[in-house]
Amino acid sequence: MKVLDLRYEFHNELDQIYGKDEVDSFFCITMEHYLGLNRFKLAMAPDQLIKTEDTKVITDVLIQLKKHRPIQYILGQAEFFGLKFMVDEHVLIPRQETEELVALVIAHGKTLKSDRKRLNILDIGTGSGCIAISLAKNIPYANVYALDVSKDALVVAKENAKRNNAAVEFINANILDEDSWNLNYANSDLDILVSNPPYVRHLEKASMKPNVLENEPGLALFVENDDPLLFYRKITDFATQKLKKGGQLFFEINQYLGAETKQLLHKENFSQITLRKDLNGNDRMLTAEKI
């Protein structure tokens, strides 16, 4: 089959579901991933013949996309902060908004650089390890710890740390269980605590797309409608114990609950509580300093 015909097949089968631009992007990502043909090469050689076995692999991608499986799970890979991460159904696909959170943490980390001391950073709910690994790569003078309740997610995160040559210490723990708070990590001496915890209420499912709902792990996404800030409350309590004075807390938050989440921090020992918008103009990040 020619490149041209395969591209036509993608559009013919998928445009109605995803729209022309996204399908074009799927096609290019797939061709680059399996055949090393980038956007430019594809445009220059529309008549290039694709071998039968390769056509089969690429058609299989099309079939899975038609069933709403995210392209990142199909290819087993996602990009985040300029790094490649292995992903499977045990971990959330890293999001662009989270890159903004990481950029904030790195900018803060740079202000703390000192010749004498290493920083201690903890990422709560690490999933694929995207936050912790990006921080370890970009703040080389930090000890980075990352925890998750999911053992399956930690298998993926550890593999990602290996592939990206990043030093991160992973911990299997449930942040909602206070008995696990005294594990032996950076005890009471954290400079930075960062978290993108589960924050989507079940009631928000109605507005979510099937590729997310049917594929990404519920454990990573959802909280009860009547207690949507559970993780923020627990992590804030944890932070009051474990962050050092002047230490910084970085949260990714539910865009619809910015004011309520901010209010939570006002009740605790924090100052400089700042709600920040993402590139789409939604309340997405909350930062605060431990008093």
Ligand X SMILES: C[S@@+](CC[C@H](N)C(=O)[O-])C[C@H]1O[C@@H](n2cnc3c(N)ncnc32)[C@H](O)[C@@H]1O
Which listed residue (3, 50, 121, 175) binds ligand X by CB under 6 A?
175
148 binding ligand X? (CB under 6 A): yes
145 is in an annotated binding site: no
Q: Which is nearer to ligand X, 153 or 257 (CB)?
A: 153
Q: Binding string to ligand X for residues 200 to 229, with x set by CB under 6 A, is what?
A: -------------------xx---------
Residue 169's contacts (CB-CB under 8 Å, 6 or more residues apart) are 143, 144, 145, 146, 185
| 198 labeled part of a ligand binding site | yes
191 labeled part of a ligand binding site: no
End-to-end Cα spacing for the chain? 65
Q: Look up residue 142 and give its two tokens.
A: 């930090």
Report, in Å, the least distance between residue 262 CB and ligand X.
Answer: 19
Nearer to ligand X, 3 or 124 (CB): 124
Query: 148 among the known binding-site residues?
Result: yes
177 among annotated binding-site residues:
no
Q: Does 112 bind ligand X (CB under 6 A)?
A: no
Residue 265 CB, shortest distance to ligand X, in Å, is 19
Binding-site member from 70, 109, 198, 258 for ligand X (CB under 6 A): 198
Task: Count the Cβ atoms, other than its own, within 10 Å of residue 83.
Answer: 17
Is 128 marked within a binding site? yes
Binding mask 81-100 for ligand X (x = CB under 6 A): -----------x-x---x--
Angle of CA points 251, 256, 257, to nearest 5°:
55
Q: Would you say 196 is a known binding-site residue?
A: yes
d(CA 148, CA 154): 7
Report the alpha-carbon distance of residue 196 to residue 199 in Å, rounded.
Answer: 8
Tell me: is residue 269 an annotated ligand-binding position. no
Kindly indicate which of the ranges 111-119, 134-142, 168-176, 181-189 contains the residues binding ligand X, using the contact rule CB under 6 A.
168-176
Nearer to ligand X, 28 or 254 (CB): 254
Nearer to ligand X, 17 or 230 (CB): 230
Query: In this structure, what token pair is assigned to residue 89?
Result: 């159904």
- Closest approach of Cβ 21 to ligand X, in Å? 24
**Contact indicator for 225, 202 with CB cutoff of 8 Å:** yes
Is 174 one of the binding residues for ligand X (CB under 6 A)? yes
| Choice between 31 and 147, CB closer to ligand X | 147
235 binds ligand X (CB under 6 A): no
d(CA 265, CA 290): 10
Closest to ligand X by CB, 28 or 221 = 221
| Smallest distance, ligand X to C-beta of residue 12, A | 33
Q: Which residues are annotated as a binding site for S-adenosyl-L-methionine?
A: 125-129, 148, 196
Q: Which residues are annotated as a binding site for substrate?
A: 196-199
**Residues lying near ligand X in the complex (CB under 6 A):** 92, 94, 98, 125-128, 130-131, 147-150, 153, 174-176, 196-198, 219-220
